[in-house]
Structure 1
Amino acid sequence: MFAAVGVAGFMLTLAGLAFVRVYDNQLIRQTESELIAQGAVIAEVFRDRLRDAEPPDTFGRERTAPWPFPIPDDTRLRPILPSLRAADAPLPAGDTPKASRVPAEPLSQAAGQRLTPLLEQVRAATLAGIRVVDTEGVVVASSSAALLGATLADRLEVQRALRGEPVSVLRRRYAEPEDTPLASLSRDTGIRVSVALPVLEGDRVWGAVVLTRTPMTFAKATYADRWNLTATGFVLLGVVALMSLAAGALVGRPLRALMRQTRAIAASDPAGFEPVARPVVAELAELSESLAGMATALRDRNQYIRSFAANVSHEFKTPLASIQGAVELLRDSADAMTPEQRARFLANVDADARRLTRLVQRLLELARADSMTATSARTEVAPVLDALATRVRAEGVSNLQVSAPPSGLKVALPQEVLDDVLWQLVTNARQHGGEDVQLHLAVEQEDETSTVRVLVRDTGRGISEANRARIFDAFFTTARERGGTGLGLTISQSMLRAFGARLELLPATDVGTTFAVVAPLPRLQRK
């Protein structure tokens, strides 16, 4: 959302700058178009005045420049299009026209004298400076009588117009002391638009019309329309204010809800473990969900640590109390005890010490299992099952059956993890089922879920319904008198979880118990 606001702000700024530039272009072209329209009429009037004088066929000069604008199929049309832009480099302002050393052409001068009063009236209405020059660039008619007889032959636009080409240029204009900054329509402008149009009679050029005027600037156009723009600005300001309030509500409300959620998390309030309802902004929704997930994970971890610490304390307390009691009896009554009694107490101390040693070792194994990180290991199932069967039979267990898995079948587990988990399941089956229990290892491949299930079945007496719900709890065991710690399945589950696998207790059957190691297939073997 914030990126969108930034982009929108950039685009609005860019659009505003572009608008100002386009508007400046439009103001200049509007002035150019008006001068072209005036010049075209004046050129026709001047040509008609010369026609009345019946000049010879050789009058004027031959047209040498091509028409710079596209000519329609109708050859009677000769369009003149505005072409100036605000970005065009302006020409120097030019010196004040001086008296020509060459006398004006007589026919042109006579036609111009009749045209000068009309140009003065046009200037009063349009504020444009209008000059009509003969074929040598001498002013023969002007909206300002003081310029009659002066020469404009040194002007670039006049030279090109006398070759038969209509030309528009920008010329610099320097501020004058009497300029007013905003109220004047044509002053305090840094440039002038100059348009020069040829007076054509067939392929002959009889003279040119030169018109100049300062265009209205963007600032002056804004000043001229200030009241409408002010009203529009207030409307836009109100719209922006409403949008800002709406954006503040959309962002501020979920932010405040997010702050309440963090305070609830700090106070262990259940409300902090639920994401913010209707956060509107996607990033805030994601942040709220992450906070809720983190708080839930920390709460679960804290409960696990507390429960784990309580269980460890309980598991350590019993053998330590037994050892302490035996030591006190031996210290206080050792002389009165028979050798058999002392041996029994020492045996109890040794058994409890060994139990503590096994417990510490299993706790270290659990810590290593919890800290395992996933790798890209791949293990072929068949060799692991064959090695496990050989190891079991080496310990004198003959009632083990192994179903051969598909050739080349692999799982995304390290070999030692798969071997340790299966050995734990086999050991549990022997501990709880006795030496005569029958074991069966099998493999099932689930193509739809891209997983492999390695099954360990036994024919023991099974697990009661009450114990099935607690079978994976840490320190839960029914073989504590035989040295069980209740951590074997917990360690196995932790090792598998690090690699995206899991240990499952399948539904009870009439005989025995079935565990399944559910492991993912390597990516290359998935369909």
Structure 2
Amino acid sequence: MKKWFRLRLRSILLLTNLVILALPLGGIIWLRLYESALIRQTESELIAQAAFVAASYRATAERLTAPDSGDPIAANRALEDYGYVLVAAPKGRDPNEHWRPRAPVLDLAEDRVLPTAPPPEPGADNADPLAWRIGQELNPILQQAQRTTLAGIAVVDYRGVVVASTRDRDEDDLGLSLTNHEEVRRALGGEAVSSLRARRNDQPAPPLDSISRGARLRVYVAEPILREGRVLGAVLLVRTPANLRQAIEGKRQPLILAGLALLGLVLALTLFSALTISRPVRQLVEQAHRAARGETGAVTPLAHPGTQEIAELSETVAAMARTLEQRAQYIRDFAAHVSHEFKTPLTAIQGSVELLREHGADMSAAERTRFLDILNQDAQRLENLVRKLLELARADVMRVGDESCELAAVLAGVAQRQQALGLRVQPPAREDSVTVAMAAETLDSILGNLLDNARHHGGAGVSARLDWAVDGGAAPCAVITVADDGQGISAANAERIFEPFFTTRRQSGNTGLGLAIIRSLLTAHGGGIELAPAERGACFRVRVPLKG
């Protein structure tokens, strides 16, 4: 997986949590939306039935009031003066328009659920004779239709008296008033009304009542009966919407498929998390166990880290493991070198002491002096070795401060001191200077050691040269050249000169730690040193960072 396609760990966790959160919330929202859909479906059916009943009422009224109807009660009644005058057209429903569609508007999340509807009560007036005659014709039709629609229907005249109803004979409400119903009062004012009311408490609770709020509700739809700007009456329809159990049973197969799809989604998310998080972490743990058992090279960057954070962690741990392995190898090699370097003078000292102890009385003064000189030389060699080891240790753990110095002043001082010691030194030809990020005494020690090597190992008549330039790359630094025209360094030895304890002048007391100390000091300051090719003698390039 390419680096720029790796998701971050927080992105994966956020995605997983959002999906897990969305599953139950989505289910709750879906159920609530589906309940509202069931309620609106019921409302839409009741609206259609109300429109048909209102149209039937008007048609029956027009037929009965016709002069040739033969009805002695209703004939010759003038519908133009019948009912109440509609003062203002309801909002959005102009009765003069040819098309007056009515859309369902109930919403379970927004509409308030009204209390249980009150029972009909005796009215102040009796039913209008014409309305009563129309109700006699509509009543059997409504009762027959209820067997299919399951809706309760009541038709009232313009005074709110029930003239037709689908209620049983034991609960007959004909002749009673429904003006105590808000829906009926508003419908008699010319307004189409839809509302939600609670079921009566004496009715049994519907199934799934803990889930379906709609099963404890009833949908009420009231429609005014309008003719030529007058209200002839109103129609009230009531029905309980379908509950969720009925809806779920009807959608059993899609719901099962949706459940399986959700289960598959959870399994896919689990597998995705395992591939991107769990498996790379397990691989890192296994590498750590192998490294703890002492296996070399066990910790490497993961080939498929999965996420950006785990990729960075794997690369960092691998780099740390390499550093620790290199440090451990360095310590082992260093310990072996130290043991070897100490063993030779200690062996000589031990042998000289044993000879002086056993044969010191029989030795001449010259012989005793020779053995004492050997002891003194080896002791000085050990002292020099210990001093260099301490310098190397300090250089390896050195913490760089905010020191700086002027390069030209340090070069001039080093050249002057070496000339006093007998080494011919050609100082830099340029007169300008730069400020480097290193203390003057540290830089003086580094350059002085390099010139000491030229003076001690370059041979008779050796001379040296100092020069510098600025490298303005990504990390600007001063490049100091220290060259001599002495015997130079062989190709075989050139690859090892910076190794601790490597020297070709051990007999003269050289410890082989000088160049190692120089490299450690420069590394601690962010610089470096290298042996550059030269036609004659040795040439070193020292890189020292510039002061920012």
TM-score by length of 1: 0.84
C-alpha offsets along residues 268-299 of structure 1, whole Å, 9 cap, x if unaligned? Answer: 44572444444556655555444443433332
SS of residue in 2 equivalent to 1:518: strand
Cα contact 2:392–2:520 (8 A) shared by 1: yes
Match in the other structure for 2:515? 489
Mean CA deviation greater in 24-33 or 243-252: 243-252
Q: Residue 85 of structure 1 aligns with which residue?
A: 107
Separation (CA, whole Å) in 2 of partners of 1:205 and 1:423:
117
Aligned residue number for residue 513 of structure 1: 538
Q: Which moved further from structure 2: 465-474 or 345-354?
A: 345-354
- In structure 2, give the amino acid aligned to 1:316: F
Within the candidate set 311, 318, 322, 2:337 is matched to 311
Question: Is the deviation greater in 295-304 or in 285-294?
Answer: 285-294
Q: Mean Cα displacement is larger for which, 470-479 or 88-97?
A: 88-97
- 1:150 is matched with 176
Q: Which consecutive residues of structure 2, in runs of 5 or more, have no partner in the other structure?
A: 1-8, 66-77
The SS at the match of 2:512 is coil
- Cα separation, 2, equivalents of 1:511 and 1:354: 34
Give runs of aligned pairs for residues 105-116 of structure 1, distance below 5 A.
105-116=128-139
> Offset at 1:46?
2.7
CA distance in 1 between counterparts of 2:162 and 2:441 reads: 107
Question: Are residues 1:138 and 2:161 paired?
Answer: yes
**Residue 200 in structure 1 maps to residue 223 in structure 2:** no
* Offset of residue 419 of structure 1: 3.8
> For the structure 1 residues 85 and 440, does the alpha-carbon distance in structure 2 shift closer, same or farther, using more than 3 Å as the test?
farther
**What is the distance in 2 between the residues matched to 1:188 and 1:323?**
105
Structure 2 residue 149 is matched with structure 1 residue 126: yes
Corresponding residue for residue 491 of structure 2: 465
- Structure 1 residue 40 corresponds to structure 2 residue 51: yes
The one of 323, 336, 346 aligned to 1:297: 323
Point out the more displaced range, 372-381 or 120-129: 372-381
Q: Secondary structure at the match of 1:399?
A: strand
Given that 2:155 and 2:234 are in contact with CA atoms closer than 8 Å, whether structure 1 keeps it comes out as yes
| Conserved? CA contact 1:405–1:443, under 8 Å | no
2:455 to 401, 411, 430: 430
SS in 2 for 1:455: strand
Matched, 1:451 2:476: yes
Give, in whole Å, the separation in 2 of the partners of 1:487 and 1:381. Answer: 25
Identity in percent? 42
* Change over 3 Å in CA distance of 1:267–1:404 after alignment to 2: same
CA distance in 1, matches of 2:441, 2:218: 90
Q: Aligned in 2, Cα 1:314/1:119: closer, same or farther, shift over 3 Å? A: same
**Residue 20 of structure 2 is aligned to residue 9 of structure 1:** yes
Moved more, 192-201 or 101-110: 101-110
Q: Tell me the equivalent position of 2:73.
A: none
- Please state how far the C-alpha of 1:519 moved relative to its aligned partner: 3.9
Residue in structure 1 matching 2:467, options 435, 442, 448: 442
Q: Which whole-Å CA distance do the structure 2 matches of 1:192 and 1:374 have between them?
A: 83
What are the ranges of 5 or more consecutive residues in structure 1 without an aligned counterpart?
none
Q: CA RMSD in A?
A: 3.6
Q: Deviations over 1:227-266 (max 9, x none)?
A: 4433553465467557756765776765665555344434
Q: Which amino acid aligns with 2:46?
A: L
Cα distance in 2 for residues equivalent to 1:405 and 1:79: 99
- The answer as to whether partners of 2:398 and 2:521 remain within 8 angstroms in 1 is yes
Q: Give the secondary-structure state (helix, strand or coil) at the position aligned to 2:126.
A: coil
Deviation at 1:311, TM superposition (A): 0.7
- Is the contact between residue 504 and residue 515 of structure 1 (CA under 8 Å) also seen in structure 2? yes
Give the counterpart of 1:19 among 8, 27, 30.
Answer: 30
Kept in 1: contact 2:296–2:325 (CA 8 A): no
Shifted more, 164-173 versus 426-435: the winner is 426-435
Question: Which whole-Å CA distance do the structure 1 matches of 2:464 and 2:109 have between them?
Answer: 92
Tell me whether 123-132 or 203-212 shows the greater mean CA deviation. 203-212
Does structure 2 retain, via aligned residues, the 8 Å contact 1:116–1:142? yes
Write the deviation string for residues 5-47 of structure 1: whole angstroms up to 9, x where unpaired.
Answer: 3333223333333322322222222222222222233233333
Query: Is 1:364 the counterpart of 2:399 in the alignment?
Result: no
Give the direction of change, closer, same or farther, for the CA distance of 1:269–1:115 in structure 2 (3 Å limit): same
Taking a change above 3 Å as real, the CA distance of residues 56 and 422 of structure 1, as seen in their structure-2 partners, is: same
Over 3 Å counting, the alpha-carbon distance change for 1:204 and 1:425 in structure 2 is: farther
Tell me the residue number matched to 1:355. Answer: 381
Q: Does structure 1 residue 230 correspond to structure 2 residue 256?
A: yes
Q: Which amino acid aligns with 1:296?
A: R
Deviating more after overlay: 315-324 vs 158-167: 158-167
Cα distance in 1 for residues equivalent to 2:288 and 2:529: 36
Q: How far apart in 2 are the matches of 1:189 and 1:504?
A: 88
Instruction: Report how far residue 401 of structure 1 moved.
Output: 1.2
Residue-by-residue CA offset, 1:441-468 (whole Å, 9 max, x unaligned): 2223333444322222222221111111
Which residues in structure 2 correspond to 1:167-206 (within 5 Å)?
167-174=193-200, 178-179=204-205, 181=207, 189-206=215-232
Displacement after TM superposition at 1:202 (Å): 5.0
Match in the other structure for 1:55:
79
Give the alignment of 1:326-405 within 5 angstroms. Answer: 326-373=352-399, 380-393=406-419, 395=421, 397-404=423-430
Aligned length: 516
Task: In structure 1, give the amino acid aligned to 2:542.
Answer: V
